[in-house]
Amino acid sequence: MVKRIFKIIGLTIVLILTGLFLSNVYYAHKLRNKFTGKHFSASEIKETEFVKELEVAFANKVWSGFDTIHIPLILYNDSMAFMTGFNYQPEGWIALESEENGETGPIYLKQAINPQAFAVQVDSVWVASLGTINQMNRSMFWGLRSEMPALMGSVFPFFLIQVREDMHITGIFHEIFHAFQATQNEQKFLNADNSNVNLKNYPYGNRAFSSAWDKEGKFLLSALESSDKSIMNAYIDSFLVVREMRREQSRIAPELIQTEKELEWLEGLAKYAEYESYKLAVNMESPYKFKEKNAYWQRELQQRLKKLGAIDGDNRFYGSGVAQAILLDRLNPDWKKSIMNEGIYQEDLLRKYSEKVE
């Protein structure tokens, strides 16, 4: 009986590994060549049209004033960049044939030279920029495989982490919000972006420092999960106390404290826009599979907040920044009226709006 059980377990493992190997063979074949097409596909046009619908919904239900700024969009593959939403043909860009355009207007094309997923300027206009879904999946697949031992790379479950349509659409919205930040307060946006350079001096390797960050994340998560406002405020207060203690005990430089605030503003608010756009998309008619429960953003937020101290680079501030933004929604929806102002960050408004528990 025991031998039979071990045989079944062994056979199951072999079948799983074989399935993963064949899956990776398929992806390696599918993604073997770079995506260099000079035509915007029908699916990509449809995607940009839905993003515009999301912008309207976002302006009406989430962020007042968002509809007053027109933000063009660049999607790039491994060779070419496609821009929609520009009201004239910028120098260096080629207009595609009219039959290739969608409801968002003319599509312009140029060679993609060092493209980036962020907000970029075209003729002094802030434009959202992101890779196409094919470019992102190809880049991620080969990038991860190159970092793994050959054996592990041949059976790693890449299909679990590929970018899906729902993730890509709200990822576009993430970059659109960066462009919005830049239009609302360009200097604050540029200062926050430039603050990344300070992270080379950030004490990521300090165990006590990282442990305190873990506590901050857990208090934020507990506050988000609380349905009782007084308990939620207690967790928020605990988060703020631990944050102040961490900074005092570690004696980190003032510019690093400022970097924390700026990156939480920069990336946390863009994550907030990404998550909120997903929630809106759930109730909109579309061919895309947006989930009301167990969506990628719900898992992502929970996983990040449970281990903030273990996350390196600026990724740490995505989670802490968006959690504070969601809590501010519950404390006072008017927080958005001042968050774009100079010197105002999420933690400042949490201190202002949260009720201190006796």
- Report whether pLDDT(98) > 70: no
Nearest to 193 by CA among 124, 255, 263, 257: 263
* Domain identity same for 159 and 191: no
Q: 5 Cβ partners below 8 Å, 6+ apart?
A: none
The continuous run of DSSP H or E covering 237 comes out as: helix 229-250
* Domain identity same for 155 and 199: no
* Domain identity same for 135 and 207: no
- The model's confidence at residue 31, banded by pLDDT at 50, 70 and 90, is low
pTM for the full model?
A: 0.90
pLDDT at 69: 85
Which percentage of the chain shows pLDDT scores above 70? Answer: 82
Neighbours of 65 (CB within 10 A): 12
Please return the burial class of 200, using the count of CB atoms within 10 Å of its CB with bins 0-12, 13-18 and 19+: exposed
pLDDT at 76: 96
* Domain identity same for 201 and 109: no
Q: Which tokens in the block code for residue 305?
A: 């907040």
* Pair 172, 58: CB distance under 8 Å: no
pLDDT at 26: 59
Question: Residue 303: which domain range?
Answer: 187-353
Nearest to 347 by CA among 269, 259, 227, 264: 264
Q: What is the mean pLDDT of residues 149-175?
A: 79
Neighbours of 116 (CB within 10 A): 13
* Pair 235, 222: CB distance under 8 Å: yes
* Domain identity same for 210 and 275: yes
Top pLDDT among 102 and 220 is at: 220
CA–CA distances in Å: residue 125 to residues 86, 120, 180, 233 = 9, 8, 11, 41
- Report whether pLDDT(29) > 70: no
Top pLDDT among 103 and 302 is at: 302
* Domain identity same for 267 and 322: yes
Tally of domains within the chain: 2
pLDDT at 70: 87
* Domain identity same for 236 and 331: yes
Q: 168 Cβ partners below 8 Å, 6+ apart?
A: 47, 130, 133, 136
